[in-house]
Amino acid sequence: METIFSRRFDRELKKVIKKHPQYKTIIFHRLDIFRESPNHPMLRLHKLTNRDEYAIAVDHDIRIIFSREKDICYLLTIGSHDEVY
């Protein structure tokens, strides 16, 4: 599955990595899993209520929000649970 980073996602990804450098490897590992197997249980993929967007879990607190059009996923934002919901 093709993934496209939005400008906002790219900016927020840099902020998350700067604040928590230990997440860099985990985030990119989760994105690799997502590309290979979007419904992998480790990702805890779920549709957001009343929105045409989805979320995957990086860890207990960090989430990636994305939208989907056919085989393309647009990564919209990343951050803590409270920041992205």
What is the per-residue pLDDT across 10-38, written as a single tens digit (0 to 9) for each?
Answer: 999 999 999 999 999 999 999 999 999 99
Quick check: 1 pLDDT over 90? Answer: no
| DSSP letters for 17-29 | HHH-TTHHHHHHH
Upper half-sphere CA count for residue 17 (Cβ side, 13 Å): 11
Using a cut of 0.85, tell me whether the model's pTM lies above it: yes
Classify domain 2-84 at the CATH topology level: YaeB-like fold (3.30.2310)
Q: What is the pLDDT of residues 59-72, one digit of tens each?
A: 989 999 999 998 89
